[in-house]
Amino acid sequence: MAKSDFEKLVLQVRLDTKEKALQGAILVPWRCLEESASTYADWHIFVLWVRTIAEHEDQLPEIVRSALTDRCPGFLESRQEQAPEQRFLWHSLEEWIAAHEFAQAKTEGWFDAVMYYAYTDLRTEQAWSLWERTRDAWNHQRPSQWPTLEEWTAQVAAIHTLTQAGTEKTRAVEALEKVEPERLQRAAGELLMSRAFALWVTCISQPNRALDEFALEELRQRYPGFLTASCPQPLWNKSLFFRLVRFGEADWRATARAERWDAALRFQVIHHPRYHRVLHYHQVCQEQWLHVRPYSYPSFADWLDAADEYCLGSRA
């Protein structure tokens, strides 16, 4: 198989995996999915800590055994510890965690979505980068003392460069060093609201027709400076949609660019489960309302609440 054909095959597999994950994501409200994915990322950091030490020690040191006993009761007893297989302990641990901590997601069919969003969590990339560097360093010289899980987790958060240069994730991780987590989260949340608002306007507006008073009133309240005196009731079209999105994001975008953390902000928004859910709900509304327009349109707040709670089987 030619290299280009192989690369196309790998890309298709990745796309298929993503599609399967996003389909599973619709089975559960996005907040539950986000929480589960974040929890899985925390577990993954723990697994890599166990793996790093286990791969450099014939017998598990007490620091690891104690952590496994506390966090995964019954795991060590259910697994026969044989020295030649010690380096594969992390694989058994991953399976145990999936079976015991994410049983509901597996039973209900959205575990692939949990893993998908956990692997878009930048902490997962930071953890893998730390694992690679630590493995290489310890192959040359074992540490005099194993790091605690708390020390390992702190080291993960301190990683701001990845092995593979120039990728979207690499740029995002590098940008994390320039912004506090809470500030980044607040900025991403406001950008998500801005995009959701533009999608709501799309749902209740007719293409190439003037915005009706219902949409205009919400628009005036949210963005008083958006409408101009020369065009108080503009036509709704793609150009106006993108102008509305840019207007709502302008302040945070300018700040992030000036302070050089815009790559992290963009990554957090476009890979956020709420963003994907709002996009999906917008499409559902568009398809349903194309055939039967509602008697009255929901306010933006009501529409967003419905989008947040939407999952497969619910109604728009």
**Residues 150 and 187 grouped into a single domain:** no
**Residues 10 and 140 grouped into a single domain:** yes
Q: C-alpha 4: how far from its chain's center? A: 30
Q: What total number of domains does the chain contain? A: 2
Separation CA 210–CA 8 (nearest Å): 45
At 80, the pLDDT band (50, 70, 90 cuts) reads: low
Q: In this structure, is residue 165 part of a structural domain?
A: no
Separation CA 156–CA 4 (nearest Å): 35
Taking the CA atoms of 268, 26, 41 and 132 in sequence, report the sign of the dihedral they define.
negative
Last residue of a domain, one of 124, 159, 194: 159
Q: Which two tokens stand for residue 36?
A: 């589960």
Range of 90's domain? 3-159
DSSP string covering 134-197: HHHHHHHS--SSPPPHHHHHHHHHT----SSTTSHHHHHHHHHTTS-HHHHHHHHHHHHHHHHH
**Residues 155 and 198 grouped into a single domain:** no
Q: In this structure, is residue 176 part of a structural domain?
A: no
Q: In this structure, is residue 19 part of a structural domain?
A: yes
3-class DSSP state of 231: strand
At 96, the pLDDT band (50, 70, 90 cuts) reads: very high
CA angle 104, 105, 111 (to 5 degrees): 155
CA 148 to each of CA 66, 74, 144: distance values in angstroms, whole numbers, following the listed order: 11, 21, 13
**Residues 107 and 199 grouped into a single domain:** no
pLDDT reading at 230 higher than 80: no
Q: 183 versus 82: which is more confidently predicted?
A: 183
Instruction: Give the per-residue pLDDT at 13.
Output: 42
Q: 289 versus 188: which is more confidently predicted?
A: 188
Mean pLDDT of 120-125: 95
**Residues 129 and 223 grouped into a single domain:** no
3-class DSSP state of 297: coil
- Report the residue count for the chain: 316
pLDDT over 90, % of the chain: 73
At 86, the pLDDT band (50, 70, 90 cuts) reads: low
Alpha carbons within 13 angstroms on the beta-carbon side of residue 140 total 5
Q: In this structure, is residue 35 part of a structural domain?
A: yes
Separation CA 190–CA 269 (nearest Å): 10
- pLDDT tens digits, 245-276: 999 999 999 999 999 999 999 999 999 999 99
- pLDDT tens digits, 184-220: 999 999 999 999 999 999 999 989 999 989 999 999 9
At 1, the pLDDT band (50, 70, 90 cuts) reads: very low
Last residue of a domain, one of 159, 190, 205: 159
| Residue 261, amino acid | W
Burial (0-12, 13-18, 19+ Cβ within 10 Å), 59: exposed
Q: C-alpha 12: how far from its chain's center? A: 21
Max distance between CA atoms of the chain, in angstroms, equals 78
Separation CA 188–CA 273 (nearest Å): 12
Q: In this structure, is residue 84 part of a structural domain?
A: yes
- pLDDT tens digits, 14-49: 555 678 888 899 999 999 999 999 999 999 999 999
Separation CA 264–CA 185 (nearest Å): 10
Q: In this structure, is residue 166 part of a structural domain?
A: no
Query: Model-level pTM greater than 0.85?
Result: yes
**Rounded to a whole number, what is the distance in angstroms from the first to the last CA of the chain?**
47
CA angle 153, 22, 112 (to 5 degrees): 55
**Residues 34 and 147 grouped into a single domain:** yes
Separation CA 192–CA 252 (nearest Å): 12
Q: Which two tokens stand for residue 7?
A: 């690369």
Mean pLDDT of the chain: 89
Last residue of a domain, one of 159, 189, 205: 159
**Residues 222 and 302 grouped into a single domain:** yes
**Residues 87 and 129 grouped into a single domain:** yes
Alpha carbons within 13 angstroms on the beta-carbon side of residue 247 total 17
Q: In this structure, is residue 164 part of a structural domain?
A: no
